[in-house]
Amino acid sequence: MVTGGGSGIGRAIAMIFAKQGAHIFVLDLDEQGGKNVVDEITRTGGNASFKKCNVGSQTEVQMVVSEIIKEVSSIHILLNIAGIAHVGNAENTNENDFERLIKVNIKGVYNCLHAVIPHMKKSGGVILNMASVASTVGIPDRFAYSMTKGAVVGMTLSVAKDYIHQNIRCNCVSPGRVHTPFVDGFISKNYPGQEKEMLEKLSKTQPLGRMAQPEEVANLALYLCSEEASFITGCDYVIDGGFIKLNN
């Protein structure tokens, strides 16, 4: 079950997991994007289904999870990838934007955990949450976003601790900047006419000199959800081109 699977990192994860034989359930508000990913998977011989879902609504999440359980009887892997960003500091972040980020980035993760874990307890499973380097280091004008990703790390540690004896592993990954259509749209919206310059500037903030590709994050996700990573739980894996450790 991949939330936010209709584009970006979620899409890359859905694609690479499908290639490994997983039956993918793509959850997204973007119906066209989600269906496009499912079509791409099935055209290449994979197995995938689309479920339109607002992860910020507990009712919708519970309904979708119930549908999935009826179809396949269990959920082995939950990937909480859906998320939104915001530019602003503590002064100029308004209440509506603050609550919007909480609803998607925090409550959305909670809603999926709340709905899926009772089913996972029966036979075990793996949960991977999407955090960010913004949960670890201070990034200018990312007040609300950083707050929500810090909460994701906290939820990851709590779930890993609470369900370790139910054979449920829970980790998170913290990417640096990843070149997705979301980033291109973000730059176009906030820096019109400066797209090329801003893309180059943001790319150079990583010591490697470029942004990550979604598939690189997906490869890490695949490993953490595999049997090869069966001894790993309660960890936050940074994938940032050296951003945290090498930028001093």
For the chain, the residue count is 248
Q: How far is CA 6 from CA 11, 16, 121, in A?
A: 5, 13, 28
From CA 227, how far away is CA 135, in angstroms rounded? 27
Of 110, 145, 163, 191, the catalytic one is: 145
163 is catalytic: no
Q: How far is CA 149 from CA 10, 81, 101, 109, 129, in A?
A: 16, 11, 10, 10, 10
At position 212, the amino acid (one-letter code) is: A
Per DSSP, the residues of 151-181 read HHHHHHHHHHHHTGGGTEEEEEEEE--B--H
From CA 160, how far away is CA 115, in angstroms rounded? 16
Do the Cβ atoms of 14 and 128 come closer than 8 Å? no
Do the Cβ atoms of 97 and 88 come closer than 8 Å? yes
| Residues whose CB falls within 8 Å of the CB of residue 64, separated by 6 or more in sequence, listed in order | 27, 51, 53
At position 112, the amino acid (one-letter code) is: C
From CA 26, how far away is CA 171, in angstroms rounded? 20
β-partners of residue 79 are 2, 128
Catalytic residue ranges: 145
